[in-house]
């Protein structure tokens, strides 16, 4: 099971933050990260009950990007599927699907929750590898923030005793960032239309987010993307190398073989 961090973006009510700390400790998760939160005062401490230690060791950040920098996988919660999201991601995960994908993973996974009244903004959603949606009733789909944390952590930490996946080593945040960079460079190399780049880039990220790549897969796919841009660059600059030169492709590393 990965190590989970609970990231809450701009919570407005300190009571919710306290209740989240309690829910986290109930499910054995202690890494609390707040992005630009309200003031954390007595109301938060009261609601945290015996989880003062979680509240005490919370970390605060200015942006979501900063808060998830060291995470291998970022799952954003989305209260309801909007038209906008549909354009980017056709498939939201159900909580049990996400749990199933991640339960055998190693690494740090961020579960991101948005504002009480608004959820996550577009640019925050675009930082997520996957979106997860707690299925609720259409009459009143908006859950209390701490309830959403409790439900999701219940799902992510429960152990049904069935081990369906072998251990997966997730790529690090740095590796993932590099890979998405290679994809963007390729779009640049092939003169992909400017106005479609952002959408296509986000699509690529979410698609791979759903697939939950191993380190080996990340490295291999990175190699293909990088190799493509590089070849186009050499052809355009006229600095051709013998195309079948062995050094063009690094030998498989232990990483790739394991």
Q: Which of residues 101-130 bind its own copies (CB under 8 A)?
A: none
> Cβ(18)–Cβ(48) under 8 Å?
yes
Which residues have a Cβ under 8 Å from the Cβ of 54 and sit 6 or more positions away? 21, 22, 24, 25, 30, 32, 48
Q: Which is nearer to its own copies, 10 or 85 (CB)?
A: 85
By CB under 8 A, tell whether 172 contacts its own copies: no
**DSSP letter for each residue of 210-225:** HH--BHHHHHHHHHHH
Burial of 149 (C-beta count, 10 Å sphere; 0-12/13-18/19+): buried
Size of the site for its own copies (CB under 8 A): 74
Q: Closest approach of Cβ 66 to its own copies, in Å?
A: 28
Q: Closest approach of Cβ 249 to its own copies, in Å?
A: 5
Q: Closest approach of Cβ 150 to its own copies, in Å?
A: 4
Give the span between the Cα atoms of 255 and 216, in whole angstroms.
6
Give the span between the Cα atoms of 258 and 253, in whole angstroms.
9
- Distances from the Cα of 207 to the Cα of 8, 80, 126, 151, 237, angstroms: 24, 19, 12, 25, 33
- The CA R_g of the chain, rounded to the nearest whole Å, is 20
9, 186, 205, 222: which one binds its own copies (CB under 8 A): 186
By CB under 8 A, tell whether 98 contacts its own copies: no
| Part in contact with its own copies (CB under 8 A); list of ranges 34-42, 57-65, 92-100, 107-115 | 92-100
75, 146, 173, 179: which one binds its own copies (CB under 8 A): 146
Q: Closest approach of Cβ 71 to its own copies, in Å?
A: 20
Closest CA to 209 of 129, 132, 131: 129
| Part in contact with its own copies (CB under 8 A); list of ranges 1-9, 60-68, 119-127, 148-156 | 148-156
132, 187, 205, 222: which one binds its own copies (CB under 8 A): 187
Give the span between the Cα atoms of 195 and 198, in whole angstroms.
7
Query: Which residues from 22-51 bind its own copies, rule CB under 8 A?
Result: 22-23, 25-28, 49-51
Q: Closest approach of Cβ 147 to its own copies, in Å?
A: 4
Q: Which is nearer to its own copies, 36 or 256 (CB)?
A: 256
Which residues have a Cβ under 8 Å from the Cβ of 47 and sit 6 or more positions away? 14, 15, 16, 17, 18, 19, 21, 22
Query: Which residues from 208-237 bind its own copies, rule CB under 8 A?
Result: 208, 210-214, 216-217, 220-221, 224, 227-228, 231-232, 235-236
By CB under 8 A, tell whether 191 contacts its own copies: yes
> Cβ(104)–Cβ(167) under 8 Å?
yes
12, 69, 84, 158: which one binds its own copies (CB under 8 A): 158
């Amino acid at each position: 099971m990965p190590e989970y961090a609970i990231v809450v973006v701009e919570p407005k009510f300190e009571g919710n933050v306290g209740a989240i700390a309690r829910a986290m400790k109930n499910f054995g998760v202690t890494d609390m990260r707040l992005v630009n939160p309200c003031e954390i005062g007595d109301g938060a401490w009261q609601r945290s009950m015996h989880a003062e230690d979680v509240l005490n060791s919370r970390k605060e950040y200015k942006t979501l990007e900063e808060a998830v920098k060291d995470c291998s996988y970022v799952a954003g919660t989305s209260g309801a599927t909007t038209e906008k999201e549909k354009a980017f991601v056709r498939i939201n995960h159900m909580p049990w699907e996400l749990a199933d994908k991640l339960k055998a993973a190693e690494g740090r996974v961020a579960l991101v929750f948005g504002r009480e009244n608004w959820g996550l903004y577009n640019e925050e959603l675009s930082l997520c590898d996957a979106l997860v949606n707690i299925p609720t009733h259409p009459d009143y789909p908006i859950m209390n923030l701490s309830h959403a944390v409790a439900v999701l952590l219940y799902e992510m930490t429960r152990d049904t005793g069935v081990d369906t996946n072998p251990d997966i080593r997730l790529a690090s945040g740095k590796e993932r960032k590099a890979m998405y960079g290679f994809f963007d460079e390729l779009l640049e190399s092939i003169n992909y239309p400017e106005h479609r780049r952002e959408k296509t880039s986000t699509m690529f990220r979410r698609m791979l987010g759903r697939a939950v790549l191993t380190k080996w897969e990340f490295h291999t796919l990175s190699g293909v993307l990088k190799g493509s841009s590089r070849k186009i660059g050499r052809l355009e600059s006229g600095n051709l190398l013998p195309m079948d030169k062995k050094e063009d492709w690094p030998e498989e590393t232990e990483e790739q073989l394991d």
